[in-house]
Amino acid sequence: KHRGVVERTQIWKSRDLEEIVAHASNVSSLVLGKASGRLLATGGDDCRVNLWSINKPNCIMSLTGHTSPVESVRLNTPEELIVAGSQSGSIRVWDLEAAKILRTLMGHKANICSLDFHPYGEFVASGSQDTNIKLWDIRRKGCVFRYRGHTQAVRCLRFSPDGKWLASAADDHTVKLWDLTAGKMMSEFPGHTGPVSVVEFHPNEYLLASGSSDRTIRFWDLEKFQVVSCIEGEPGPVRSILFNPDGCCLYSGSQDSLRVYGWEPERCFDMVQVNWGKVADLAICNNQLIGVSFSQSNVSSFVVDLNRVTRSGTVVQGPVQESKPAAQPPPVGSTIRRNYERPGTTCNKPQRVKQNSESERRSPSSEDDRDERESKAEIQNAEDYKEIFQPKNSISRTPPRRSEPFPAPPEDETITVKEAAKPSSAMDVQLQMPNRGNVPTSTPLPRVEPSVIPATRNEPIGLKASDFLPAVKIPNQSEVVDEDAMSQIRKGHDTMCVVLTSRHKNLDTVRAAWTAGDIKASVDSAVAINDLSVVVDLLNIINQKASLWKLDLCTTVLPQIEKLLQSKYESYVQTGCTSLKLILQRFLPLITDILAAPPSVGVDISREERLLKCRLCHKQLKNISGLIKSKSGLSGRHGSAFRELHLLMANLD
């Protein structure tokens, strides 16, 4: 009888919550909202981002706009914004409360492998297979910094709790720590013998944990910049780790179990069997740990009752569970690390920094507008959407005040969960929080300054440390009156009207030449206007009918195609690839034949003119060929298009 009770207790430590079909095709990424542990976002090969409420089978909202599989997703701390990165390197930010696209960020050249929101400022960090890390100001659609140092794909990014540092993990077996305000790499942590897939900051102390496919978890001291301990013997690659909110232990999602670790010294406090397979993310809600995993198009969620899990030297008393020997307290004199100095809680939204970057000075682009028009947030379940996002901070996104967010199965135990969770003695309380303590502000611990390696700065726009912190509200600050608010809303309106009016006038000029039947004149006028968006619109029409292409057109269009292929906009690159492919298929054999033919006898003016055009086209194609070759190694849809063009240009010589 006792054995049966023990077995049921072990089973009820964890249980399945829900299994859903999340996408029409394979799920490629997912993330839990860390504030509530209840909101789930999934990205799929169908190029969509779907939102779910844990333990509910219906999709709340579906976000569209990406044109390639979604490789990474991340929710901000209040769970009101979501960012998603695609296989093509584009990043999109949606406002969940307003149910609309907020920003489209372009700049990476390969898959987006990792994303993270800054805890205070309106910034997003992205890591890519192109080995670059970029910091984006989502208010201005601009890249603030580019950090270079990794030699392989960046798999995980995390901001420190105080918002001053950024940790990165990559396939090159290293973990790096970056100083955001200085734009420099502070330290590199070698030691892993395999790709590092995840990093997490301790919630309070200067401590960092990293997990790798080498089946180890390493803990790094962020004052001395050295390894604290290394936990070995994980049953498989480490994919998900999470510190307990009070910092007493670290959870690791193994293949079929949850393991609870301490690090000074390294030891395993407990192991709970969970049939979640390859767990992809973890979160904690009201002393219950939520885990999610995905396989093909399905997503499964699980819950572990942390009241029944040993998280320190203390043993959680079960109904008939045998006592485990308590771990020895840490040795006297062991080092105590500094705690993060977080800003006060009374704060407003961050103040806007001075708008003097190149990205801010640009005129509004029609391509930006087009990207955001094509990106949609479709509400699938109006009832759940209103419950979660309207009003703000509703009960579904904040931890419920009940003792358990997910009801536990019926029990036949005599000891309640609350009683089991109480510490048995004063010694137990001390053991639950080993090596904790605040450092007096008057006597800060000495900090070892490592050698500083400069990072590459894309747009040095003069960010200060205050840009990464909340703006503290001044008590006597005057409130914004209605007129000021309206002036802020109207700011940029006149500029946008001027841009759109000018564009309309330019298109009218091109259309007048087109209506007259002179396609060459319409192309010449579009090029003379010096607006690539007009050239793109015209080429999209010509590309639909290959018979419109003439050799005269090639000499005018090829320099414009070279500009399009180097554009940061996906649609520009796609149009340039399509036009170049048509030119190569239609005219490259003719160009090579004419250039290879022997000189003619006598005077043939038309032949001489054709020869000059072919020589000019050949020279322009040679200029483009180097660009095509360099981009043929890219992944995704554009990579395959460049590889096809590279093959077509093989006969150019």
Contact 592, 555 (CB under 8 A): no
User: Residue 301: is its pLDDT beyond 80?
Assistant: yes
What is the mean predicted confidence (pLDDT) over 369-390?
68
> What is the predicted pLDDT for the residue at 472?
54
What gap in Å lies between CA 92 and CA 372, rounded to an integer?
9
Per-residue pLDDT tens digits for 10-56? 555 777 777 888 888 899 999 999 888 889 999 999 999 999 988 78
Domain ranges of the chain: 14-308+375-389, 491-649
User: What's the average model confidence in pLDDT over 342-357?
Assistant: 41
Please report the pLDDT score of residue 448 as a whole number.
41
Give yes or no for residue 195 having a pLDDT over 50: yes
Q: How far is CA 195 from CA 151, 190, 214, 289, in A?
A: 12, 11, 7, 26
**Residue 531 pLDDT > 60:** yes
Instruction: Give the separation between CA 48 and CA 646, rounded to whole angstroms.
Output: 31
Coil/strand/helix, residue 347: strand
Q: Where are the beta strands (DSSP E) in 171-297?
A: 175-179, 184-189, 196-201, 207-212, 217-221, 226-231, 241-243, 250-253, 257-263, 266-273, 279-285, 288-295
91 pLDDT above the threshold of 70: yes
Q: Does 424 score more than 90 pLDDT?
A: no
Query: How many CB atoms sit inside 10 A of residue 255's CB?
Result: 15
pLDDT given for residue 343 in this prediction: 63
pTM of the model: 0.59
Question: Distance between CA 565 and CA 104 in Å, rounded?
Answer: 19
Q: In the prediction, which pLDDT does 320 show?
A: 34
pLDDT at 454 over 60: no
Nearest residue to 430 via CA among 336, 338, 327: 327
The predicted structure's pLDDT at residue 456: 40
- By the 8 A CB rule, do 366 and 503 touch? yes
What backbone torsions phi and psi does residue 237 show, to the nearest 5 degrees? -55, 140
pLDDT at res. 468: 60
Is the pLDDT at 444 greater than 70? The verdict is no
Instruction: Tell me the three-class secondary structure of 463-527, residue by residue.
Output: CCHHHHCCEECCCCCCCCCHHHHHHHHHCCHHHHHHHHHHHHHHHHHHHHHHHCCCHHHHHHHHH
**Of 278-282, 287-291, 377-381, 398-402, the least confident:** 398-402
Q: What is the DSSP string of 539-554?
A: HHHHTT-GGG--HHHH
Overall fold of domain 14-308+375-389: Methylamine Dehydrogenase; Chain H (2.130.10)
Is 14:305 a contact under the CB 8 Å cutoff?
A: yes
Secondary structure class of 134 (helix, strand, coil): strand
Burial of residue 349 (number of CB atoms within 10 Å: 0-12, 13-18, 19+): exposed
Residues forming beta bridges with residue 29, ordered by sequence position: 43
Reply yes or no on whether the pLDDT at 129 is more than 80.
yes
**249 vs 440, higher pLDDT:** 249
Q: Alpha-carbon distance 299 to 19, whole Å?
A: 6
Q: For the residues 111-139, what does the mean pLDDT come to?
A: 91
For the chain, the residue count is 653
Confidence of residue 470 (pLDDT cuts 50, 70, 90): low
Residue 617 identity: C
What percentage of the chain carries pLDDT values higher than 70? 72
Omega prior to 265 cis, within 30 of 0: yes
State the amino acid at position 177 in one-letter form.
Answer: L
